[in-house]
Chains A and B, each alone.
Chain A
Amino acid sequence: MDAAEASHDSLMTRAMRPARNSDTGERIRLAVIAVLLAFVLLVLPSMLSAYWTDVATSVAIYTIVALGLALLMGRVGLVSLGQVAVLALGAWVGARLLFATGLPFPVVTIMTGLITMVLGSLIGLPALRVSGLYLALITLMLAGAITVVLATTDFPNGGAGFLGHTEATTGAHEIRRPSIATGEHAYFRYVVIWAALMFILALWHVRGKPGRAWATIRQSEPAALAAGINISLYKMWAFALASFMTGIAGALLAGSSGTLYNLTFPTQDSIILLAVVLMGGIYSLWGAVVAGLLIKLLPALLDNWGLPPDLLTILFGIGVIQVLTTAPAGLVDQFPKDMAKLGRFLWRLVGSPGARTPGTAGSE
């Protein structure tokens, strides 16, 4: 009984300690984020060539997509195998609106986000009553269907009609960019700012009422119902949020590439997206950044070094299996944990034998 009492005591001691530690931790984190953001916005673009700026822009765009999926998976526990199809929808809608209206780019981006949100929620709607596996399968099916439709219809390129497509080369234009950000570097900064805004949106949700409801739903649906949470509503909200973000990413993607014809959205990519999001870590929002880097930076690096990109597909496949079998929280969680373990080990070497190191209660 002694060991149990002892651990019980230490749990209680930890619980009764005032919460000042997490406040300073919070402030340090904010400072680090601010510095990083400043670096990325101000210093990074000048260090990169046009090609690498393009890659960096892709990373930022896919970070937004990954953020949406990470919220769905990590916060609510819903797996969507169709986010890339939603991204394709967003790109299509964004391109169409940019051609059809003269509205400023940010306005079109938000409109795209909202329209994609509605469409994405329609996908989520039948899925509400469905269990985890079947939901994942439905998203896969619907994504596949969307991919087929997109493959057979033509992309908007400045023409008239609903599809906005014209065969004539004289009528076809490039997709425009925001007037303040037409160059590569400027557009990169523009996208990063949107990404930062999406992160803030995500945090606002996670720290607020939806986040708490999602945490409850994820752990135990009966407990959620018993707490008065309308599960369908909150699942829908998560889908809507993820679709909104992905729609915005789609509009930014359209603006980035100038034409949708260079882009493909195969079903395989949705699975790769799932893989990188899992590997990046679904329980922390930073995992989305890691995911963006994995999915867009690594291929460019491999290409640079003359290695086949297929190696990455294999790596991601291994990553999925590894994460699911051993480290469910992904790299973002695992790396700091390993670092913390190392830190404690060193501290114990340096400090006095009787000193107890503070526990890691409540990380995040």
Chain B
Amino acid sequence: MIKVENLEVRFGGVKPIDQMSVTFPGGTCGLIGPNGAGKTTFFNVLSGFVKPSGGSVTAFDEDLLAMADYRRARWGLRRTFQTEQAIEELSLYDNVAMLEEHSKNNGGSSRRDDVEGALEFVGLGKLNSNTKVGTLGARERRLVEIARAVVGKPRAVLLDEPAAGLPDEETEHMGSVIRRIPDEIGALVILVDHDMTLVSACCELTSVLDFGKLIASGPTDEVLRDEQVIRAYLGAEDV
């Protein structure tokens, strides 16, 4: 469970996040909102790239904000990025193995098993894991990012528009992978996306941000029908 209380972020006079309080209990939780609502800023706070000016984040009973940024991955926080950041000159294997390299060894299974397991999980098992990621297409790269997010024993996986730019069938595959994470990997998932089909398909609960404020939170289909939410999106997205 990740509990956010009165979180506030200031950039000069702007408040990308304004007194945000929400709980992500488990499973797959959606986080949606119009462009500029603060979703990626929220992820950046969780990752440690942005320092909040107030509030707290308690993740699995630990104070997340007190941890140094690079330690959070070791602790079990993983994320993907809006513009995918798979490392081009490294192989599939190295891209995923690196996550384990810099984390505590979870004991028991070998690194090779973990890496191949993760690649298998996202559907890249059939590829030669020595291939350089730079030679792969967008779909494969986004899946590599997911593999990096699920290798080892992560506690929380933050997905930032994981299917952005992908055609519908790939998005469906992505959705099926995401849905399996809480049960098969055992991590809490927070999914940020504009694609409501994907969000509906993956998330039981969804929270909505608008101008840095939380305007709705609850079961996904209820939230998507909420008047306030629709008004916030007016003219922006298709559902």
Contact = CB atoms under 8 A, between A and B. Distances in A.
Touch A–B, Cβ below 8 Å:
yes
A322 interface: no
A11 B70 CA distance: 33
Interface string B64-83: 00000111111000110100
Interface in B107-155: 126-128, 130-132, 135-137, 140, 148
Contact of A225 (B49, B89, B101): B49
Contacts of B127: 12, 15-16
Contacts of A11: 135-137, 140
Nearest to B92: A15
A212 B101 contact: yes
A96 to B, nearest CB: 39
Contact of A215 (B90, B103, B126): B90
A227 B73 contact: yes
Interface in A311-346: none
B129 to A, nearest CB: 9
A220 B48 CA distance: 15
Interface residues of A, number: 29
A227 B137 contact: no
A226 B87 contact: no
A220 B88 CA distance: 10
A22 B74 contact: no
Given A19-B128, A222-B81, A225-B49, A216 B90 contact: yes
A49 to B, nearest CB: 43
A357 B47 CA distance: 45
B85 interface: yes
Interface residues of B, number: 36
A231 B90 contact: no
Interface in A204-238: 209, 212-213, 215-216, 219-220, 222-231
B98 interface: yes
A209 B135 CA distance: 22
A97 to B, nearest CB: 37
A308 B99 CA distance: 54
B88 A212 contact: no
A306 interface: no
B151 to A, nearest CB: 10
A348 interface: no
Interface string A165-201: 0000000000000000000000000000000000000
A8 B97 CA distance: 25
B48 A225 contact: yes
Interface of A: 8, 11-12, 14-19, 22, 209, 212-213, 215-216, 219-220, 222-231, 361-362
Interface of B: 47-49, 69-74, 78-79, 81, 85-90, 94, 97-99, 101-103, 126-128, 130-132, 135-137, 140, 148
Q: Which 9 A-B pairs have the closest CB atoms?
A: A228-B73, A228-B102, A223-B85, A15-B131, A220-B85, A361-B135, A362-B132, A19-B130, A228-B74
20 contacts: A11-B136, A11-B137, A12-B127, A15-B128, A16-B126, A212-B94, A213-B101, A213-B102, A215-B89, A220-B87, A223-B85, A225-B70, A226-B79, A228-B70, A228-B72, A228-B99, A228-B102, A361-B131, A361-B135, A362-B131
